[in-house]
Structure 1
Amino acid sequence: MSGSLLESARSALEEIEALEVLAVDTLGQKPSGAKASMEQQGTLKNVVEGMTAAASTLGALHDDIGGTFGGEVAKMRGVGVFTNFYGALKETREYYARHGATAAIGQQQASSQAAVARAKRVETKFSGEETWGKYLDLSARHREFCNLPNAPVDLDYVTYLRHLGSKPFSTHVAESKKTHGGYVRYAAAMDAYLTDFWARTQPLVPLEPLLAEPLRAFEKSYAEKNQTNGEALDLRTFRTVESLEALGLDRLKRALQALGMKCGGDVKARAARLFSVRGVPVDKIDAKLKTKKRAREEPTVDRKYRTLLNDARVDALLDHLRPVLDATTRRAERKLTRTKDEIDAEARDEEFGIVQAAPEEEESDDEDPLDAPLYNPKNLPLGWDGRPIPYWLYKLHGLDQEFKCEICGDASYWGRRAFDQHFNEWRHSHGMRCLRIPNSAHFHGVTKMDDAVALWEQLQERHEAEAFKAERDEEYEDSDGNVLNRATYEDLARQGML
């Protein structure tokens, strides 16, 4: 019974119908919160995969390559149909007589129920910072970028996110620095993370078709910029070295590159080197004439290609994930002005959804106000609710006043409060250490390096002047009880006046 191909076909059709019902029920639900939305998409992905597998099984049965399925169908028609039917019925009764009644319970629905259970099993994982796919978690990539050579060590996370959103990823580091091992690992890790994030948040949208066009453009651009194979010459048509010299430096260089030979020197040296191998097979050319850098440069060329390919993929991925990146940047800015309790409350609301709205409000297609573009023409700071603070409050706290500190690398601080606080922060302390000056209260309010050095010298002179000196500060007492300093006492003693 269990081995019947007709039963397998019936079971596959039943699985498809059960999964169709599950898909309709899932699409009819309106998810509340990011978690429910991701679970819905994961379920739909499993439904599509389950239906595809069942349809593939059904198609293989209908193809009937071995002819077994056709034989079973033939038994159900034509001469002897009743004999075959009662024979199959007898086998079925004997099967359940051996295995008991429990085997018959739900036998027809077991396969479809298992398919539905598999479809509902969603195991997509997100970090707490990602909030079920609503935001990106690029903190690890930020640390890797700050550890690259010549990277700004004081680049904070919000500024890093703004750079990712304002200019292409491939322009963040000079191309000459992209063969460094640290950047190779950084670009590969960024590509792997964004690819994995897309697969987890968009399970129903394949990524490769979206990247096909940008990658074709990259391959074309890379091929145009890296023509290294050269163009071979038919040396049999040249009778003298002078005839080769007439081709010029560039054409001789390409011909030497095509043979894998050294291409340095002036036009006469190149022509003589090329003419010396006239009529010599490529594999017989003297090793002294061939370039020795080829074997060592090949890994570097491959590494550069892989890194530039990762850059192109990351640019395309960030372009498709632009709304998520913008939402991540806005959230990072909001976190700078919120307490831990407010941040935790927002995370709970985003994960499980805010309180259910009234029926007429549920039908509204308005976007989440936190993710809507902010109208902020004066570039005001964001408040605890993620919206720009009132302009009167902005003026009250003096946030329109800019204070620059040369010791901090000409960093700008907006508002007196932020300016006063920065003297105790790490950036100012680091600048003072570079000047070999202690960051004490004497230097509060000093922002110029020359002023800090001059004040430090003045403090040292004052300290030296106030330091204890034996000739001046030691005191003596004569026989009459008069207190004298050391210089006066010794002067009177020499004159015998004590």
Structure 2
Amino acid sequence: MSSTLLEKTRNLHENVERYELLIENEMKNEPKTTKERVLQSHRVNHYLNSSIECSKQLLNIYTDNDRSRKDELTSISGFGTELFSSFYEKLREIKEYHRKFPNIKEERNNEPLIYIPNVPFTGNESNGRFLDLNEFYEQYINLHFIKEKNIDYISYLTSFYKFQYNDLVRMKYSEYKKYLESLLEYLLSFIQRTQPLFNLIPSILKSENEFNEKWEKKQFDPTTEESNNNNVDNNNKDNNEENNPLYCKACKKLFASENVFNGHLKGKKHIQNQERMELNVNPLLTLKSRKGNSLLEYKITRLSEYLLDQIEATKEFVLKKQSRSAAELESGEGLLNEEDEENLNIEDIETEIEAPKLRIANYPVDWSGKPIPYWVYRYLELGVEYKCEICGNQSYWGRKAYEKHFQEARHSYGMSSIGVPNTVHFHEITKIKDALELWQKIKSQTSFQQFKQDRDEEYEDENGNVMSKKNYELLVKQGIINPNNNSSSNNKSTGKRDRS
């Protein structure tokens, strides 16, 4: 038995309120990492869209174009006995239905509305922190009309969204248009994945309107002054030089004398550049063929303005990777992941008066007061704590400081306080109990090696038997040996016996 229209209306109102509460709970929790921020934005976007969809359904119900809501209200309304007869008739229908279908599930929408987004990112994108333009970089340097074939990836990241409108050779090639289309598609996808709450449609429409206005004013025409002002990668030539009669526009070079300039006009290089410049200003090429490509370039420039932070972060990350060796790159040593950077939290400053608070306790700083590089922190194991009970449970951070403290005054004083000498035998010993036990063991071994007269002094009887002083005196007292008749008693030998 299907739910009534009024029950559906109530359920939609309930869902709208539940989505609003979910959005409120999401906004209370501030994300700590880029991944958490992206996932939170996708959850909020889903809840917002779902709430809008419920509101649209409610609008259709309240509009009541098919008069179904009015008919249902009429069926449950009435006066006097008609009201009760209508109610009991509905109740009888419901009971009869459930009698036929006793195992029917409750139709009320009580399922959880929690949304778990799944946003795909490549490894180089690092959950939206960086751009992954390696594929487009390969496409760009393989374009046959590109003069600078040795351009590196860092330079490409700096200039991929800047276009030179006074050079129209690129507009003739279809592969350049495919490159622009794929690059624009990637930027749109990246913004949608990292900033789902950002509405791209009005921004794109605005960019198209701006482009059409500038196109009508011929601001993208290299023969006009406006295009030179609009050129992002303009060489910023001085107007006085361009107006100089000795200036060659084809080669973009100013000559010192008229004779040299006239000789240059007959050269092969000048003739080739002149023909290329004339090809660039072909009316068919400038007006018909290049408008679509120019629009793509303009959109890429405008979209890149929203990604300037990611572009700069990508350049820094690439520079950091290039400074590492192959072994370090394979092991990941020296490259911070996002969780490590968030744990450092070096940028977070709570107030202007207080010093920066670091999430790694006792994070060391250099002579200027700035935190040391993180790879130095990891290499010296400055995050590892060593405690010494002999020094009063003093903490030492890093292996170097820990080994050095055994020769410092604090440790020496602690050793003297427990009556143990601070010798090399007690290196690496930090517990008082271990130090005392080792000291007792050393003393027992040392006392066994010391010379004792009653144990190590030797005597010899008349028969030549060698014995210790203690045994010799016992035999003398018992009368077994007569020292007066012992001719060898005066020839006693003393010395340490080798107990090994």
8 A contact 2:172–2:285 mirrored in 1: no
Offset at 1:225?
Answer: 3.1
Structure 1 residues 18-51: Cα deviation after superposition (integer angstroms, max 9, x where no partner) = 2122112222223232222111111111101110
Instruction: Please point out which of 180, 183, 187 is paired with 1:194.
Output: 187
Residue 144 (structure 1) aligns with: 139
Residue 350 (structure 1) aligns with: 338
Structure 2 unaligned spans of 5+: 221-282, 360-371, 377-500
Map of 1:358-373 to 2, 5 A cutoff? Answer: none
> Is residue 299 of structure 2 the alignment partner of residue 320 of structure 1?
no
> Is residue 86 of structure 2 the alignment partner of residue 84 of structure 1?
yes
Residue 244 (structure 1) aligns with: none
SS at match of 1:84: helix
Structure 1 residues 308-352: Cα deviation after superposition (integer angstroms, max 9, x where no partner) = 1100100000112111111111111111113315747746x3269
Offset at 1:163?
Answer: 2.3
Q: Sort the Cα spacing of 1:197 and 1:7 in 2 relative to 1 into closer, same or farther, 3 A.
A: same
Percentage of pairs with the same residue: 21
> Is residue 350 of structure 2 the alignment partner of residue 340 of structure 1?
no
Bigger CA drift: 74-83 or 32-41? Answer: 74-83
Q: Sort the Cα spacing of 1:154 and 1:172 in 2 relative to 1 into closer, same or farther, 3 A.
A: farther
> Is residue 119 of structure 2 the alignment partner of residue 124 of structure 1?
yes
> Is residue 159 of structure 2 the alignment partner of residue 163 of structure 1?
yes
CA distance in 2, matches of 1:173, 1:328: 29
1:319 partner amino acid = E
2:322 partner amino acid = L
Give the TM-score normalised by structure 1: 0.52
2:65 partner amino acid = I
Map of 1:25-36 to 2, 5 A cutoff? Answer: 25-36=25-36
Give the TM-score normalised by structure 2: 0.52
SS at match of 1:109: coil
CA distance in 2, matches of 1:92, 1:109: 19
Map of 1:48-59 to 2, 5 A cutoff? Answer: 48-59=48-59
Q: Sort the Cα spacing of 1:40 and 1:367 in 2 relative to 1 into closer, same or farther, 3 A.
A: farther
CA distance in 2, matches of 1:31, 1:213: 31
Q: Sort the Cα spacing of 1:312 and 1:161 in 2 relative to 1 into closer, same or farther, 3 A.
A: same
> Is residue 98 of structure 2 the alignment partner of residue 96 of structure 1?
yes
Task: Answer with 1 or 2: which has the greater Rg.
Answer: 2
CA distance in 2, matches of 1:85, 1:345: 75
Map of 1:2-17 to 2, 5 A cutoff? Answer: 2-17=2-17
CA distance in 2, matches of 1:385, 1:356: 12
CA distance in 2, matches of 1:210, 1:221: 17
CA distance in 1, matches of 2:53, 2:297: 36
Q: Alpha carbon RMSD of aligned pairs, Å?
A: 3.7
Q: Sort the Cα spacing of 1:40 and 1:173 in 2 relative to 1 into closer, same or farther, 3 A.
A: farther
Structure 1 residues 171-219: Cα deviation after superposition (integer angstroms, max 9, x where no partner) = 2882232231121111111111101111111111101222344322211
Map of 1:264-413 to 2, 5 A cutoff? Answer: 303-338=289-324, 339-340=328-329, 343=332, 346=335, 349-350=337-338, 354-355=342-343
1:93 partner amino acid = K
Q: Sort the Cα spacing of 1:131 and 1:171 in 2 relative to 1 into closer, same or farther, 3 A.
A: same
Structure 1 residues 376-421: Cα deviation after superposition (integer angstroms, max 9, x where no partner) = xxxxxx98869xxxxxxxxxxxxxxxxxxxxxxxxxxxxxxxxxxx
CA distance in 2, matches of 1:6, 1:196: 41
Structure 1 residues 432-491: Cα deviation after superposition (integer angstroms, max 9, x where no partner) = xxxxxxxxxxxxxxxxxxxxxxxxxxxxxxxxxxxxxxxxxxxxxxxxxxxxxxxxxxxx
Offset at 1:14?
Answer: 1.6
CA distance in 1, matches of 2:322, 2:192: 30
CA distance in 2, matches of 1:196, 1:89: 54
Structure 1 unaligned spans of 5+: 228-296, 370-381, 387-498
**Greater RCO, 1 or 2 (C-alpha within 8 Å, sep 6+):** 1
Task: Give the structure with the higher percent helix.
Answer: 1
> Is residue 229 of structure 2 the alignment partner of residue 210 of structure 1?
no
Offset at 1:70?
Answer: 1.0
CA distance in 1, matches of 2:123, 2:330: 15
Residue 236 (structure 2) aligns with: none
8 A contact 2:76–2:83 mirrored in 1: yes
Residue 436 (structure 1) aligns with: none
Structure 1 residues 286-321: Cα deviation after superposition (integer angstroms, max 9, x where no partner) = xxxxxxxxxxx9999665222111001000001121
- Report how many residues are paired: 294
